[in-house]
Amino acid sequence: MPHARRIPVVKRSLGSWILDGNLPWQGLLLAVIGLFIATRVLPLEMQKRIVNEAIGRREVDLLLVYCGTYLAAVVLASACKYGIQVIETLIAQRTLARMRRALLEHALRLPLSFFRENPPGSVVNAVVNELAVPSNFVGAAVSTPLSNLLTLLAFAGYLLWLNPLLAVISLATYPLAMIVLPLLQRGANRANQKRVDLSRTFAGRIAEAFTGIHEIHGHAAFGVEQKRFEDLIERLRKVRIVWGLFRYGVKSANNFFTSLGPFVVFLLGGWLTIRGQLELGALVAFLSAQEKLYDPWKELIEFYQVYQDGKVTYRRTMEFFDVEAPVAAAPPDRPPLQLDGRLEVRHLDFLTETGLRLLQDIRLSLRPGEHLALVGFSGSGKSTLALCLAQLHAVAEGRIFLGGHDIARLSKRDIAANLGLVSQHPFLFEGTLRDNLLYACEALEAAAPRPSLDDVIAVLHQTGLFADVLQFGLNTPLDPRRHAAIGPGLIRVRRKFQEKYGARFAEVVEFFDASAYLEHSSIAENLLFGTAQRPEFEPARLAANDWMLDFLNREGLLHRLVNIGIRLARQTVDILGNLPAERVFFAQSPMSPEELPRFRRTLERLRRRSPEEPPSREETLALLELALRFTPGVHKTLELGEELRGRLLTARANLRRALAAEQPQAVAFHDAEAVLPFQPILKNILFGNTPPAPPKVQEEMLQTVIQLLIEKDLLEAIVGIGLEANVGSHGEKLSGGQQQKLAIARVLLKSPRILILDEATSALDNRSQARIQNLLETRWKGRCTVVAVVHRLDIVRHYDRIAVMKAGKIVEIGSWQELMERKGALYELAGKR
C-alpha cells in the first residue's frame, strides 16, 4: 500500500497494516485455507460412510479405505492449521516490528514539550507493550475470519445436505449469540480503554520513581512513593476486574449458546432416527459436525475480542503520539546547509505551556567567531534562551536567524550540522566511550567526514579526557585473542621499564618474582603465581576445589591454613565485633562485614567442642577461604612468619609441577617473557602489583609508562582499547566531571560553527574549567561563534560581549570593561558574588 507510507503513522488505521507489506503472505494463507476447509469437511463424510457402508455391510476393505482417508484428512488438516498459525505469527511479528519502527521514528521527532508532559515510562509502555495486541490482530485479520467463516459455511452446508430441518433448528442459536455477545463486548471495550490509560500512567509513575531512586533513598521517602502508587494500583485493580468480568461473560455466553446445539441434535435427531427418517450414520456425522462447529465459532469469538482489544489499544496509542513535530527532521531534497556563524535574535518571546512568559523581547546579534557570555541570577532565563537558540524550544514570538536563515524553517539536520549544544547535565547512552564520543558525528552521517583516531586523541587532549581514557585502557584486562597484536609490544615495554626504571620504582611496584613471597598478593595468589584458566582454579574458588584441597593436604598446609582462618576470624570478631558493619572498619581484615555473623557462629560452635574434634567440612572450607584471602601488605590483623612464607613458596613450586602434570590447562603461570592473560594491561607492563603510593610518585610512574608506550608506538592502541570501556547506564561508571568532559569533547569533535554552552563546565574542578576556557579563547576564538551560559563571573572577562539577564530580559550587553565602567547590572551582580 504505497499511499499508506505517505500517511503519518499516527493517522493510519489499524486495517491499513493488514495488506501493507504482507500481500504475498496473505496470498499464501488463502491457498492453505482452501486446503484446510476441504480437509475439515471430508472426515464428516467418512464417518457417515464408515457407519452406513463399511460397518452396515460388514465390509473390511471399505472400513480400511474410509479409515485411511479419514486419517489422511485429519493429518493434512493439522498440518494446514499449523501452517496457518506459523504464517499468522510471521505476519504479526513483521507488522509489530514495522509499527514500532514507524512509531519510534515519529516519537523521536516530537517536540520536547511532549516528553515534559509525558513521563518516559508511558512512552516506553506504549511502544513496547501496547502494539503487541494490534499486531496480533493484523496477523490473524485475514486467516482467522476467512478460515472459520468458510468452515462454518462448509459445515452448515453439509448439515443442510444431511437434513435441512435438523440443520436449521440446530443452527438457530448462532444468530441469537451474535446479538448478545457484541453487547457484552462493548462493556469490555470501555473497561479496556480505562485499563490502557491507567496502565500507561502506572508505568510512567514507576519509571519516574526508579529514575529518581537516589532522591527516594536520600529522603527515605518510601512511604510517600507507596502512597502515590496505592490509588493507581487500586483503580487499576477495579478496572481489570470489570474488564475481566465482561471478557469472561463473553466466553460464558458463547459456551452456553454453543452447548444448546448438541442438545437440539440429540433431541430432534434422535427422534428422527427412531422414526427411520434419519440414518444412524448421518446422525453420527451430524453430531460430529455440530461438535466441530464449536471450534470455528470459538475462534471467531476470540478473534472478535482480539480485534476489539487491538482496535482500542491501537487507537489510544496513536492518539497518545498524535502530536505534530514542529520542524522537519531532515531537508527532503538537499544536503544540510553549511552556514556561517552569524547569529541574530529579533524580539524573541518564549511562553511555557501554562502561559508563563520566561523570555521577553530578546534582541542580540553576533558576528561569526564572536563569543557571548549570558550571566544573571538563577531563573533569569539564560538556559531558556540557550535552548531556544538550539531549536529545542519553540518560540512564541520573534525570530532567530543562524547564518541568515530563520531556524523555524531549518530542519533538525541543518541545525545539527552547524550548531553544537553542551548542557549542564549531559546525557550519556549505554555503550562505550567511543560510541558516546562519536555520537554527534555519527548522527550527521555523510554530512561530515568521520573523525580519525588522531582527531579523537586531539579532542581528548584538549578537553582533559585523554588521561582518563588512557587509564581505562591500562586497566582493561588483556584478552589474548582480542589484544594479540599488542602482546609483543607490551613485553618490550616491560623489559625496558624493568631494565631502565625497575630500581627507581622498586618501592612503588612489587615485581613478580617466582622466588619471592608477594606481600601485596593473597595466599591463594601466591600459591598459584599465575592466572586461572578454569573457573575452579580462580583464587576465590580454591577453597571449594577438591583437587586443591588434596594438594594442600599432601603439602601439610591444609590444617595450618585452617588454623590461620580461625585466628583471623577470632581477631576480627574480637576487634570489630561491636563496631558498625561498615567496610571502612574491615579494610585491614580479609573478612567482610556481611560475613561477621557467620564466623561468630562458627567460633561459638568451635568453643563448645573438644580441642580434638575437628571442624565440619562446611566450617573447614569457610575458614580456609578466609585464610586464602589473607594479604600481608593489606591485612594487618595477623603476621605471617618467615617459616610459613618459605613453606608457601615451596608449595608454589610443587603446585606448578603438579598442575603441569595433572591439570595442564588450569593456570597460566606468570612468565616475564609472556603476557598475563586477563590481567590489566598496566599489570602486564609492570609485571607486578602496585601497592598504595604517594600520588606524585604514582603520577611519575604513569608518565614513565606513557613515554615508553610512545617510544614503542603503542599509545594509540591503548587509547583505542580505553575508548571501548563501557560507560554504563546514563554514564554511571564515569564521574560527573568525566561525563561533562566527554559531552564537551563529543560536540567539539564535529567542529560546529556555532557552540551553545549551558553551564557546560559546572561539574568540573577549577583546573579543568580553566583548561576548557583556555581552549575556547585560543583554538575556537574567531573560528566558532560561542554563546555560553556562565555562572562564575571570574571566567567571563575575556568574552567579546556579556549579556546580563534579569526576569527574562537582557538588561545590558557589552564587554566586561564597558559594563563594569557603567556600574549597572553586571557591576551589581559581581559585587553580590
Least confident of 189-198, 269-278, 336-345, 660-669: 269-278
527, 384: one domain: no
Q: How many domains does the chain have?
A: 3
Q: Is 493 a domain residue?
A: no
520, 636: one domain: yes
| Angle at 175 (CA atoms; ends 174, 176), nearest 5 degrees | 90
Residue 801 is predicted with a pLDDT of 93
Of all helices (H) and strands (E), which one includes residue 378?
A: none
CB–CB of 730/736 below 8 Å?
no
DSSP code at position 638: -
Q: Is 487 a domain residue?
A: no
Kindly tell me if the per-residue pLDDT of 446 is higher than 80: no
| 282 or 18, greater pLDDT | 18
pTM to 2 decimal places: 0.74
User: Final residue of a domain: which of 669, 692, 711?
Assistant: 669
Helices (H), 2-142: 2-6, 23-49, 60-107, 112-117, 120-128, 132-140
Q: What number is the average pLDDT over the span 756-779?
A: 86
Model confidence at 36, pLDDT cuts 50, 70, 90, reads: confident
Distance CA 617, CA 627 (A): 15
Maximum mean pLDDT: which of 42-46, 51-55, 586-590, 612-616: 586-590
308, 374: one domain: no
Residue 174 is predicted with a pLDDT of 63
CB–CB of 669/540 below 8 Å?
no
176, 307: one domain: yes
User: Final residue of a domain: which of 669, 701, 736?
Assistant: 669
Kindly tell me if the per-residue pLDDT of 4 is higher than 60: no
Residue 260 is predicted with a pLDDT of 59
Q: Is 782 a domain residue?
A: yes
Average predicted confidence (pLDDT) for the chain: 84
98, 182: one domain: yes
Q: Is 326 a domain residue?
A: no
Residue 265 is predicted with a pLDDT of 62
390, 316: one domain: no
Q: Is 140 a domain residue?
A: yes
Distance CA 732, CA 417 (A): 29
Kindly tell me if the per-residue pLDDT of 5 is higher than 50: no
Q: Is 480 a domain residue?
A: no
Q: What number is the average pLDDT over the span 237-259?
A: 73
Model confidence at 2, pLDDT cuts 50, 70, 90, reads: very low
For strands 754-758 and 785-789, give the pairing: parallel
Instruction: Annotate 663-677 with DSSP letters as a single string.
Output: -TTSEEE--TTS--T
CATH of the domain at 804: 3.40.50.300
Q: What number is the average pLDDT over the span 777-803?
A: 88
253, 352: one domain: no
Kindly tell me if the per-residue pLDDT of 54 is higher than 60: yes
Q: Is 713 a domain residue?
A: no
Q: Give me the domain span that covers residue 754.
A: 343-469+724-829
User: Final residue of a domain: which of 640, 669, 698?
Assistant: 669
Q: What percent of the chain has pLDDT over 70?
A: 87
Residue 3 is predicted with a pLDDT of 41
Kindly tell me if the per-residue pLDDT of 447 is higher than 60: no
Model confidence at 264, pLDDT cuts 50, 70, 90, reads: low
Kindly tell me if the per-residue pLDDT of 176 is higher than 70: no
Q: What number is the average pLDDT over the span 351-360?
A: 84
54, 194: one domain: yes
Least confident of 139-148, 225-234, 369-378, 609-618: 225-234
**Closest to 359 in 3D by CA, of 390, 326, 388, 401:** 388
CATH of the domain at 201: 1.20.1560.10
Maximum mean pLDDT: which of 89-103, 182-196, 331-345, 621-635: 621-635
521, 647: one domain: yes
402, 438: one domain: yes
What tens digit of pLDDT does each residue of 474-525 get? 999 999 899 999 999 999 999 999 999 989 998 889 999 999 999 999 999 9
Q: Is 717 a domain residue?
A: no
CB–CB of 622/599 below 8 Å?
yes
522, 605: one domain: yes
Please give, one letter per residue, the 3-state secondary structure of 107-143.
HCCCCHHHHHHCCHHHHHHHHHCCCHHHHHHHHHCCH
Helices (H), 163-221: 164-170, 173-211, 213-219
47, 161: one domain: yes
